[in-house]
Structure 1
Amino acid sequence: MTAHVDAPRSDAPGAASAVTWTGAWVSDRLDLTLRTTGSAVGLDLTDLVGLAVRRNPRRAHLLVSRVLGKHVPTDPRVVRGAGLLLGALASRSLVGPPPVEAADTGADLDDRLLSAGAVLRDALDGDPVAPTLLPGVVADLVADVTAPAVVLGYAETATALGHAVADALGGAPYLHSTRRPVAGVPSVGAFEEDHSHATTHLLLPADPALLASAAPLVLVDDELSTGTTALHTIEAVHRLAVRDRYVVATLVDLRTDDDRARAAALADRLGTRIDVVALAAGQVEAPADVVTRGATLVAEVDAAAPAGPRRADDAGPGRA
């Protein structure tokens, strides 16, 4: 996978900049639009993610998170604050209906969630005071809601995010998936992430009973594109123990109406409930020739880059 990140004050690819990364460099050149359709915390997709290009014959672009701290340098307080805020949404979903999402629709939103989202946005926009305020604002949100649950995060990108959500749920038991077998630790289940470079995820809890309880399960990922991986996971875990609640917690939800219908159909088939909470929901609008445009842009960047060795994972189609 090759990701070209945005250079906010320069059109030169890779130019150094002290300005907050936005991902707009790629979206401007490929005519891509991130359209927000809802948020319980008042955020837009562009607050949370930017766009990059990839060396992949099937997909021209990928989302790069501004709050994970894995691919774009991010203040640790912002990383943890975003995770705890997502955990606050998950906790509210466990004790009632998911928090209302809206985008200027006049819906009755939770003022405390909106306030926390506003502080997070200010921190991402470079406000020097907001990161110092964010931990306290979000801690107040998670302190008054407790709900027993087990939390499962997805390797590799959402492992730390899952920890933060588990912390928001009062230190709930936490497990993340892995792609690596561990000698002496039996797998209690497996599921597939069809679009990934390494598709098979294993579940290797130190205590096999962790996933065998009927406690609600919160699945944590950084992004839902179709939600297929989450549905595969729910089917695999449901075979270990029948439970009546699942919550999928994600930073951004890009599912279509058809994707949401598939989740509802699975819930009906299993006799369970599946809710999804996200800091923002929406879609990526792209021109019909975006794959061709992306390949051209990658070629232009490659031609302009200094000669040097390429990483092994840049030698062919994108890994992710």
Structure 2
Amino acid sequence: MAARINKKRAFLFVSKVLGKHLPVQPAVSLVSGFALALLLQRELSGVAPDPRLIVEGLLEPATAADAYRKLKAQKWTPPRRLAFIGFAETATALGHSMYDAFAEGCRYLHTTRELIPELTSTLNFEEEHSHATAHRCYAEHPVQGQEAIVLVDDEMTTGKTVLNIIRDLYRQYPAHKNYYVAALLDWRTEEHRARFSELEQELGITIKTLALIKGEMSSAGDPHLSSRSTDIGQRSAPAALEIIRLPDLFERVSVSSLDSAGNRHAAPFLRGTGRFGIESADNEQLDRCITQAAEWLRAKRTGDKTLCLGTGEFMYLPMRIAAEMGAGVHYQSTTRSPIYPSSEGAYTIWEAFRYPSPEDANVQHHLYNVTRYDYDEVFVMLERQVEAEQLQPFLDVLVHLGIKRVYVVMVS
């Protein structure tokens, strides 16, 4: 756990498999999505798939890549159609990897904090404890037919976010009665679980929760920490910096976004992220594009120990690319979530760098725990093109981390 800079909730669970605040082997994080998918397949079909590859992938990092390849080759077919919704920003990759565990009959959408003026958000709900509370969904039809709805988050503490989105989904799609909620961690108390039962009775629906770890927790008091960021200082000579624009591999969505000051950012997004909705028929082509991007970037590698960085909501495609860039690659992501760092004892977050988002100067982004791992190089993957002036504060952090080479990759 770590202390969150947030008056609404003073703590944060820091996952060792999620690939957000701490570096992980990318295949380990991808396998965690398959672990949740296994729980869902067992619930849907009544048959428990063999868990050995998943256990191996989560507990044995040295063999995680091989376990993930085998899991990808033996995807499950669900007994009914499923609509997955991953929660931004932390669970965008987790939800996508869970969806990707199924061979057919599925669609995936992740919520977003982006404001896209050309489109109307079809779902709107609040994550009340979050640093950025508003969630939007830009798929024209988040749910179709008689799909069961699968909501994916990294952890549930009270479950309020889940209840908020279920209410909005039911308001728009009252014929859909079956909801599944999947999370790595479920810390709801008996009182919180009772609220789920009450909503089931109120709306005439079923809500089945799935988690790798379940328990109860409580917190009290405020953190006795004061530092909010780590001084970059002059750690070393600036790193060699290269801006890479990938070939035109991924399908783009030509819409713009508005930042918090109303400024328009016209660069296109990528459809393969799931922000606008994707379905099982899209996966084969997306896999090919990921492999091509990974081959292209792998040829740029010069060191034995490489960090790949996703940025904000843009987690899954960078994670998948990192998983195919060869041995010695670790992955994590930047985040909006502000955490107190401390170098004392065994505290989880010992280093925090802060900078204005390249896409919204009024939004602070954070990068945690990168300088103790002796990386030879770092590949930072951005979903969209950004202007040099907007990118500069982030570059100022990256080139003074003490890592020899920095590659900033414009994926779109």
Q: Note closer, same or farther for the CA distance 1:239–1:52 as it changes in structure 2 (3 Å cut).
A: same
**SS of the counterpart of 1:179?**
coil
Q: Is contact 2:152–2:182 with CA below 8 Å preserved after alignment?
A: yes
The answer to whether structure 1 residue 224 and structure 2 residue 162 are counterparts is no
Cα distance, 1:159 vs structure 2:
0.8
Q: Note closer, same or farther for the CA distance 1:146–1:213 as it changes in structure 2 (3 Å cut).
A: closer
- Render the CA deviation track for 1:114-167: whole Å, top value 9, x for unaligned: x345324422xxx52x31442256458743654311110111111111111111
Of 162-171 and 260-269, deviating more is 162-171
Give the TM-score, by structure 2 length: 0.52
The answer to whether structure 1 residue 247 and structure 2 residue 184 are counterparts is no
Cα distance, 1:183 vs structure 2:
2.3
Which residue does 1:188 correspond to in 2? 122
**SS of the counterpart of 1:143?**
coil
Partner Cα separation in structure 2 for residue 234 and residue 72 of structure 1: 30
Partner Cα separation in structure 1 for residue 49 and residue 82 of structure 2: 25
Q: Note closer, same or farther for the CA distance 1:302–1:150 as it changes in structure 2 (3 Å cut).
A: closer
The answer to whether structure 1 residue 131 and structure 2 residue 38 are counterparts is no
Which residue does 1:118 correspond to in 2? 55
Which residue does 1:273 correspond to in 2? 206
Greater relative contact order (Cα < 8 A, sep 6+): 1
Q: Is contact 2:31–2:58 with CA below 8 Å preserved after alignment?
A: no
The answer to whether structure 1 residue 311 and structure 2 residue 354 are counterparts is yes
Q: Is contact 2:27–2:57 with CA below 8 Å preserved after alignment?
A: no
The answer to whether structure 1 residue 70 and structure 2 residue 20 are counterparts is yes
Of 166-175 and 235-244, deviating more is 166-175
Q: Note closer, same or farther for the CA distance 1:284–1:137 as it changes in structure 2 (3 Å cut).
A: farther
Which residue does 2:98 correspond to in 1? 165
Of 85-94 and 147-156, deviating more is 85-94
Q: Note closer, same or farther for the CA distance 1:146–1:75 as it changes in structure 2 (3 Å cut).
A: farther
Partner Cα separation in structure 2 for residue 231 and residue 60 of structure 1: 21
Q: Is contact 1:224–1:250 with CA below 8 Å preserved after alignment?
A: yes
Percent pairwise identity? 34
Partner Cα separation in structure 2 for residue 248 and residue 192 of structure 1: 17
For the aligned residues, what is the CA RMSD? Answer: 3.1
Cα distance, 1:210 vs structure 2:
3.6
Partner Cα separation in structure 2 for residue 261 and residue 319 of structure 1: 36
Q: Is contact 1:219–1:246 with CA below 8 Å preserved after alignment?
A: yes
Q: Higher helix fraction: Structure 1 or Structure 2?
A: 1
Q: How does 1:36-51 map to 2 (within 5 A)?
A: 51=1
Partner Cα separation in structure 2 for residue 259 and residue 140 of structure 1: 38
Q: Note closer, same or farther for the CA distance 1:116–1:269 as it changes in structure 2 (3 Å cut).
A: farther
Which residue does 1:95 correspond to in 2? 45
- Render the CA deviation track for 1:57-109: whole Å, top value 9, x for unaligned: 5644311111111211111111111111111212222334xx9xxxxxxxxxx
The answer to whether structure 1 residue 209 and structure 2 residue 141 are counterparts is yes
Which residue does 1:200 correspond to in 2? 134
Q: Note closer, same or farther for the CA distance 1:306–1:174 as it changes in structure 2 (3 Å cut).
A: closer
Which residue does 2:110 correspond to in 1? 176
Q: Is contact 1:94–1:247 with CA below 8 Å preserved after alignment?
A: no
Q: Higher strand fraction: Structure 1 or Structure 2?
A: 2
